[in-house]
């Protein structure tokens, strides 16, 4: 039993975070360069989950949490799941079906989209006529199709768990980003002639962001290992990780805006980017009450 990353895993984490900081900073999330996807593919992140790479889910979770920390494109999630259960490293858009509509994210230059239909993962064709536009999450382009396309189901039921796990990792990273942003601001912003982080009213909001991160990250690690081990309760543990990570991302994003005060509610500042990402993540492979009570 060992739930701390080993030396190799820490190296993956560090390399990912370093690259993201230099090439894909969070504050540029709404304005990603057109060539970013090509760079991500060259760095190997679009194909890292394919079976021949031999990476376990635990290591994937660590890397995706780092990518999530910098609000990396959500299309990496669908691409990674497709790479694992279909093969290849071609860009695959993320599909979120609902209410007779189909929402596609990061669908530029794709022919297929991956999503969850009635609890099963599937792939559907991306029509050539889509016109991507910005949506709530300014880091991802959105195309709304007014009918739900018929998906081609993926055979392996673990594909759903895989998407849940990676989306949970993104949410853990997003929660971390909001925690760190709030704490950094609380150290430098002064009112009443002292940093606002001195006041317990602010300090305790920040402490709660750290608690939510620790809780969600721990369950993410356990869930990833459970999936690797073929554990009988893996589905429950992944659902728990997804639920707690989604909550951490959303609650931390809200806390971060509050700690930032006036500047936190502006379009110029970055806190809203985490909030909007958290909302989007909560609709990717969402967890039901039944998922958490099963087994």
Partner 1 sequence: MDISFSAQETRFREECRDWLHANVPCEKRPLDPTEALPFDKAWQRTLYDAGWAGISWPKEYGGRGLSLIQQIIWLEEYARAGAPWIGANFVGINHGGPTLIMNASEAQKSFHLPRILRAEEIWCQGFSEPGAGSDLAGIKTRGRVEGDELVINGSKIWTSFAHVADWQELVLRTEEGSLRHKGLSWVICDMHAPGITIRPIRLMSGEAELAQVFYDDVRIPLANVVGGLGEGWRVAMSTLSFERGTGFIADQVKHAITVARLIDDASASGAIKNDQIAGELAQLRAEVAALRAMTYRNISEVVRTGQPGPEASVIRLFTSELGQRIDRLAVRLKGQDILDFSYGDRDDTQEYLRHYAATIAGGSAQIQRDIIGERMLGLPKSR
| Binding piece for partner 1, criterion CB under 8 A, among 15-23, 75-83, 216-224, 265-273 | 216-224
Q: Is 11 in the site for partner 1 (CB under 8 A)?
A: no
Give the full edge-to-edge strand order of the sheet including 152-153: 133-134, 141-145, 101-105, 93-98, 112-117, 120-125, 152-153
Compute the distance between CA of residue 29 and CA of residue 72 in angstroms, rounded to an integer.
Answer: 8
Q: Is 211 in the site for partner 1 (CB under 8 A)?
A: yes
Inter-residue contact 121 to 114 (CB < 8 Å): yes
Name which position in 197, 252, 273, 275 contacts partner 1 (CB under 8 A): 197
Q: Which is nearer to partner 1, 70 or 221 (CB)?
A: 221
Q: Is 263 in the site for partner 1 (CB under 8 A)?
A: no
Name which position in 80, 107, 172, 240 contacts partner 1 (CB under 8 A): 240
Of 32, 71, 30, residue with least CA distance to 177: 71
71-110 footprint of partner 1 as x/- string (CB under 8 A): ----------------------------------------
Q: Which helix (H) or strand (E) holds 167?
A: helix 158-188
Residue 144, helix vs strand vs coil: strand
Q: Is 1 in the site for partner 1 (CB under 8 A)?
A: yes
| Binding piece for partner 1, criterion CB under 8 A, among 11-19, 93-101, 160-168, 221-229 | 221-229
Torsion on CA atoms 39, 44, 47, 52, rounded to nearest 10: 160
For residue 147, what are its two tokens? 């009918």
Q: Is 4 in the site for partner 1 (CB under 8 A)?
A: yes
Largest Cα–Cα separation, the chain: 62
Residues at the contact surface with partner 1, assessed by CB under 8 A? 1-6, 9, 58, 179, 183, 186-187, 194-195, 197-200, 202-204, 206-208, 210-211, 214-219, 221-222, 224-226, 228-229, 231, 236-237, 239-241, 243-244, 289, 291-293
């Amino acid at each position: 039993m060992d739930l701390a990353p080993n030396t190799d895993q820490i190296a993956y984490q560090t390399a990912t975070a370093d690259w993201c900081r230099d090439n894909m900073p969070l504050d540029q999330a709404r304005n990603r360069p057109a060539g970013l996807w090509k760079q991500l593919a060259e760095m190997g992140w679009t194909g890292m989950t394919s079976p021949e790479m031999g990476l376990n889910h635990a290591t994937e979770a660590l890397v995706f949490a780092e990518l999530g920390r910098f609000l990396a494109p959500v299309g990496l999630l669908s691409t990674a799941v497709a790479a694992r259960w279909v093969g290849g490293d071609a860009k695959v858009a993320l599909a979120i079906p609902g209410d007779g509509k189909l929402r596609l994210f990061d669908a530029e230059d794709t022919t297929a989209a991956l999503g969850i239909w009635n609890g099963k993962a599937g792939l559907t064709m991306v029509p050539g006529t889509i016109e991507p536009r910005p949506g709530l999450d300014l880091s991802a382009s959105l195309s709304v199709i007014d009918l739900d396309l018929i998906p081609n189901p993926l055979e392996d039921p673990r594909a759903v768990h895989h998407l849940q796990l990676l989306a949970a990792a993104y949410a853990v990273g997003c929660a971390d980003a909001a925690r760190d942003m709030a704490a950094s601001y609380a150290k430098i912003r002064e009112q009443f002639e002292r940093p606002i982080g001195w006041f317990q009213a602010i300090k305790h909001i920040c402490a709660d962001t750290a608690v939510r991160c620790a809780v969600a990250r721990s369950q993410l690690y356990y869930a990833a290992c459970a999936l690797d081990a073929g554990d009988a309760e893996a589905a429950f543990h992944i659902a728990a990780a997804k639920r707690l990570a989604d909550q951490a991302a959303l609650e931390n994003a809200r806390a971060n805006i509050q700690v930032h005060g006036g500047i936190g509610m502006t379009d110029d500042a970055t806190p809203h980017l985490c909030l909007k990402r958290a909302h989007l993540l909560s609709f990717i492979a969402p967890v039901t009450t039944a998922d958490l009570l099963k087994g």
